[in-house]
Amino acid sequence: MSLTKPVQSGQHLIRGRVLSFTREPQDISDTTSYQYYEDGAVLMEGGLIKAVGDYSVVASETSPDTGITDHRPHLILPGFIDTHIHFPQGQVVASYAAELLDWLNDYTFIEEQKYADEQFGEHIAERFIDELLRHGTTTVAAYGSVHPQSVDAFFRASEKRNMRNIAGKVMMDRNAPSALCDTAQSGYDDTKALIARWHGKGRLDYAISPRFAITSTPAQLEASQALVREYPDCYVQTHLSENHAEIEFTCSLYPQAPDYTGIYEHYGLLGRKTLLGHAIHLSEREVTVLAETGSVAVFCPTSNLFLGSGLFDRDGLRAAGVRIGVATDIGGGTSWSMLRTLDEGYKVLQLRGQRLNPLSSFYMMTLGNARALSMEDKIGTVEAGTEADLVVLNSRATAAMRLRMDAGSNLAQELFLLQTLGDDRAIVETYIAGKACKPA
Ligand code: GUN
Ligand code: ZN
Distance 18 CA to ligand 1 centre (A): 36
pLDDT at 408: 85
Q: Ligand 1 within 6 A of 211 CB?
A: yes
**Dihedral-angle region of residue 374 (phi above 0 means left; psi in -120 to 50 means alpha; beta otherwise):** left
By the 8 A CB rule, do 180 and 116 touch? no
DSSP-assigned states of every residue in 20-64: EESS--SSTT-GGGEEEEEEEEEEEETTEEEEEEEHHHHHTTS-T
Q: Which atom of ligand 1 is nearest to the CA of 170?
A: 3
Beta bridge partners of 36: 19
Residue from 102, 143, 211, 260 whose mutation best tests the ligand 1 pocket (most atoms within 8 A of CB): 211
Q: Ligand 1 within 6 A of 239 CB?
A: yes
CA distance linking residue 121 with residue 167, whole number of Å: 14
The enclosing H or E element of 220 equals helix 218-230
Nearest ligand to residue 240 Cα: 1
Secondary structure (3-state) at 208: strand
Beta bridge partners of 277: 239, 298
> What are residue 283's phi and psi, to 5 degrees?
-80, 170
Indicate which residue's Cα is closest to atom 7 of ligand 1.
Answer: 332
Q: Which atom of ligand 1 is nearest to the CA of 212?
A: 2
Q: Which atom of ligand 1 is nearest to the CA of 239?
A: 1
Indicate which residue's Cα is closest to atom 3 of ligand 1.
Answer: 211
Secondary structure (3-state) at 392: strand
pLDDT at 315: 98
pLDDT at 124: 98
pLDDT at 7: 66
CA distance linking residue 227 with residue 91, whole number of Å: 31
The enclosing H or E element of 315 equals helix 314-320
Distance 433 CA to ligand 1 centre (A): 31
Q: Ligand 1 within 6 A of 332 CB?
A: yes
Q: Ligand 1 within 6 A of 334 CB?
A: no
Q: Ligand 1 within 6 A of 293 CB?
A: no
CA distance linking residue 325 with residue 417, whole number of Å: 22
Q: Ligand 1 within 6 A of 108 CB?
A: yes
pLDDT at 1: 47
CA distance linking residue 331 with residue 354, whole number of Å: 26
- The β-bridge relationship of strands 34-45 and 11-21 is antiparallel
Distance 276 CA to ligand 2 centre (A): 9
CA distance linking residue 365 with residue 338, whole number of Å: 7
Indicate which residue's Cα is closest to atom 8 of ligand 1.
Answer: 332
Q: Ligand 1 within 6 A of 242 CB?
A: yes
Distance 222 CA to ligand 2 centre (A): 21
Question: How many CB atoms lie under 10 A from the CB of residue 236?
Answer: 26
Helix axes 118-134, 148-161, angle to 10 degrees: 40
CA distance linking residue 356 with residue 252, whole number of Å: 36
Q: Ligand 1 within 6 A of 198 CB?
A: no
- Alpha helix stretches (DSSP H) within 114-210: 118-134, 148-161, 184-198
Query: Residues near 102 by Cβ (< 8 Å), separated by ≥ 6?
Result: none
DSSP-assigned states of every residue in 258-314: SSHHHHHHHTT--STTEEEEE--S--HHHHHHHHHHT-EEEE-HHHHHHTT-----H
Indicate which residue's Cα is closest to atom 1 of ligand 1.
Answer: 239
* CA 331 and chain centroid, separation: 13
pLDDT at 8: 59
By the 8 A CB rule, do 43 and 377 touch? no
Q: pLDDT truncated to tens, each residue of the chain (440 aa)?
A: 455 676 656 899 999 999 999 999 999 999 999 999 999 999 999 999 999 999 999 999 899 999 999 999 999 999 999 999 999 999 999 999 999 999 999 999 999 999 999 999 999 999 999 999 999 999 999 999 999 999 999 999 999 999 999 999 999 999 999 999 999 999 999 999 999 999 999 999 999 999 999 999 999 999 999 999 999 999 999 999 999 999 999 999 999 999 999 999 999 999 999 999 999 999 999 999 999 999 999 999 999 999 999 999 999 999 999 999 999 999 999 999 999 999 999 999 999 999 999 999 999 999 999 999 999 999 999 999 999 999 999 999 999 999 999 998 899 999 999 999 999 999 999 999 999 999 98
Residue from 111, 212, 237, 306 whose mutation best tests the ligand 1 pocket (most atoms within 8 A of CB): 212
Distance 104 CA to ligand 1 centre (A): 7
pTM attached to this predicted model: 0.98
pLDDT at 5: 72
Indicate which residue's Cα is closest to atom 9 of ligand 1.
Answer: 332
- The β-bridge relationship of strands 67-78 and 2-5 is antiparallel
Q: Ligand 1 within 6 A of 86 CB?
A: yes
Distance 189 CA to ligand 1 centre (A): 23
Q: What's the helix, strand, coil split of the chain in %, to 5?
A: 40, 25, 35
Our CA angle for 139, 310, 327, nearest 5°, is 5
Q: Ligand 1 within 6 A of 212 CB?
A: yes
Residue (of 364, 372, 330, 329) closest to 346 by Cα position:
364
Q: Which atom of ligand 1 is nearest to the CA of 303?
A: 9
What is the widest separation between alpha-carbon atoms in the chain?
A: 69
CA distance linking residue 301 with residue 234, whole number of Å: 26
Q: Which atom of ligand 1 is nearest to the CA of 246?
A: 1
By the 8 A CB rule, do 86 and 330 touch? yes
Secondary structure (3-state) at 165: strand
Indicate which residue's Cα is closest to atom 11 of ligand 1.
Answer: 239
Cα torsion at 418, 424, 426, 430 (round to 10°)? 110
